[in-house]
Structure 1
């Protein structure tokens, strides 16, 4: 019986191309060049790139030809396009396509490969020219390369456009969070909706919230355990469910706030989060506070999580340890905060909710585009 050789072609292809792709080594179609030290150069208009991207600008170019940057040390799995003229440091190779090899097509091949599996080091990830040159890849005719390269170039432009829109929305939100809450010493915010003119009220937290220690009486199972860090119901797989353990949890009801003491660059004194996802339970290590009066949940979600608002308050109501901050509840309840009227709370809360919904929509679109690109990279290459 004659063995039928499998055709060397991708599963998804432009209809005008039917020939087999040719199996080649990177050395056959890419010239890998080394970066160099730039410290002897003067400042100028030529960008210098490292594994993390742009670093600074100098007065000389290492290359006047567009190329692909690929890490020699450190970040070895994030290849990216280098527009000439440019200079690269010695931790970043730059790969120049040889004759009849399309740059954008080559970039897509570089992005498709899992470079981490070629790591030669037991410490800092490393690649060598020898390893890169030895990697195999299937290559079509130049015309098909151009068509594929152009397709992915346009897809990357669309992804970059959505990323810029998303980044802009997030920056706008940061600006609104700064301007729609009063600064220290002020009684009204810098930016305000029409129809509201009264000063915000000064209220102690003890007038607004009470500390609660409502233990789980087994009315909540492990499917209602809430992650305070990210505010979602946890995966039940790794949660103990014996009665004694489940009784250690504190009940965390809708509208309650909980203090999380993990330090981060954004929340140096810990932070509060509000429960807007439904009644559940949290670990006993979290202090839980319940509102005494009616609040707009959307407004308080942003007010209570705004470091500019809460940072000065928490600075005087927490004690520090190496990795965590601990809330002194009696001190916290004595601290004061500015509070707008309920109708203004509703207006501000609705505004930020719509803004967050818009951000989430753009994030989903961006994630979908990135997933589609992954699929095309799988199906449009051999």
Structure 2
């Protein structure tokens, strides 16, 4: 049997054994798993020679380090975005705290109904079959992708609202990520349908990406707090459609809207890039663990 000197190798091996459920058969307790030290001491493991232990340990340690770096970079970017959302959109004074050079005018206040209209288009004759959902975390996505199955009753989707590309949707379902429910834009390259529980609206005379980013701020939360209610269901916020559409919002010139929208689009793309790298690294490590350990 090879000498056990590769501490990193043993560390990774034990994590792998936990992942594949090796310890579950020895664990006790329903709330917190507990394993007898004798069972740990008697665990059967396969070890390569010392130099191979060291090489495998170094590779996996490097991957863990890379994963940690991307996780931290992603957290930093998300914190930066959160700070910029607070500072680059106009507050009650009508002026943002931070602005691009060359812009100094006060933002104009208008009602949501001035730049949008509620959509009443129903899925007549079941023309569309792609059911969408409005997630606080992921935005507007296909229901099948989000839940891994169709939740809607296919025999009752004729009463669903049609959601075309760039339509906005308000979901009154509240969560930790969306205190008053999320408002998102359909960025999919196809039309879909949504339950009549959602409020669907179209917009005009405004940069759609700017408005989408504005709804990621908290500037509209006070209005919701003052004009709505959690209603009978604790997980759903209640507000009349007409009241919602009267929401006051502050908007700058179209040129400033475009610059703001582009800046946050680039920031979102960078965050997404780090998430993809993270997913790839984790998948690669998973593959290595499956192939490197017996």
TM-score range, shorter chain: 0.7 to 0.9
- 2:8 maps to 104
Aligned-partner Cα distance in 2 for 1:280–1:312? 31
State which of 55, 76, 83 in structure 2 corresponds to 1:147. Answer: 55
- State the partner residue of 2:79: 171
User: How many corresponding residue pairs?
Assistant: 281
State the match for 1:316 in structure 2.
226
Q: Determine the C-alpha separation between the residues in 1 that align with 2:12 and 2:71.
A: 19
**Distance in 2, Cα, partners of 1:173 & 1:220:** 39
| Greater Rg by CA | 1
Q: Mark the runs of 5 or more structure 1 residues left unpaired by the alignment.
A: 1-20, 23-98
For residues 267 and 60 of structure 2, what CA distance do their matches in structure 1 show? Answer: 31
3-state secondary structure, aligned to 1:174: helix
Q: Distance in 1 between matches of 2:199 and 2:290?
A: 48
**Displacement, 1:167?**
1.5
Give me the whole-angstrom Cα distance separating, in 1, the residues matched to 2:178 and 2:184: 12
SS at match of 1:300: helix
What is the deviation of 1:162? 1.7
CA 1:160–1:240 in structure 2 vs 1: closer, same or farther (change >3 Å)?
A: closer
Give the structure with the higher percent strand. 1
TM-superposed CA distance for 1:206, in Å, is 2.0
8 A Cα contact 1:221 1:241, kept in partner: no
Q: Pick from 128, 132, 135: which aligns with 1:226? A: 132
**1:239 offset after TM fit, Å?**
5.0
Kindly report which structure 2 residues correspond to 1:311-350, keeping only aligned pairs within 5 A, or say none.
Answer: 311-320=221-230, 321-350=233-262
Choose between structure 1 and 2 for higher RCO, CA contacts under 8 A separated by at least 6 residues.
2
Deviation of residue 354 (structure 1)? 1.0
Structure 1 counterpart of 2:187: 276
Alpha-carbon separation, structure 2, partners of 1:102 and 1:324: 53
Once the two structures are superposed, the pairs formed by residues 215-254 of structure 1 within 5 Å of their partners are 215-218=122-125, 220-222=127-129, 224-229=130-135, 230=138, 231-235=140-144, 237-239=149-151, 242=154, 244-254=155-165
Q: Which runs of 4+ in 1 moved over 6 A?
A: none
Q: TM-score normalised to the size of structure 2? A: 0.87
Change (3 A) 1:240 1:334: closer
Supply the distance in 1 between the matched residues of 2:162 and 2:282 (Cα, whole angstroms): 39
Kept in 2, the 8 Å contact 1:182–1:190? The answer is yes
Q: 2:133 touches 2:143 (CA, 8 Å); kept in 1?
A: yes
Matched, 1:180 2:105: no
Would you say 1:363 and 2:256 are equivalent positions? no
Judged with a 3 Å threshold, the aligned counterparts in structure 2 of structure 1 residues 312 and 179 are, in CA distance, closer, same or farther, namely same
CA distance in 2, matches of 1:124, 1:150: 32
1:136 Cα deviation from its structure 2 partner: 1.8
Structure showing the higher helix proportion among its residues: 2
| Structure 2 unmatched ranges of 5 or more | none
Residues 166 and 381 (structure 1), Cα distance of their counterparts in 2 relative to 1, 3 Å cut: same
Q: Measure the CA separation in 2 of the matches of 1:147 and 1:221.
A: 55
**Alpha-carbon distance in structure 1 between the residues aligned to 2:128 and 2:181:** 28
Q: Aligned to 2:159, what secondary structure does the other structure show?
A: coil
Q: Following the alignment from structure 2 to structure 1, what is the Cα–Cα distance between the partners of residues 236 and 195? A: 15
Deviation of residue 158 (structure 1)?
1.7
In structure 2, the residue matched to 1:50 is none
Pick aligned residue for 1:191 from 79, 82, 98: 98
- Report how far residue 266 of structure 1 moved: 3.4
- Give the CA deviation at 1:298: 1.3
Matched, 1:305 2:211: no
Normalising by structure 1, we get a TM-score of 0.68
Whole-Å separation in 2 of the counterparts to 1:191 and 1:327: 32
- Residue 240 of structure 1 deviates from its aligned partner by 5.4
Q: Is the 8 A contact 1:180 1:192 kept in 2?
A: yes
Q: Deviations over 1:213-264 (max 9, x none)?
A: 2211136332x2111113112328535574x512121112233222212222
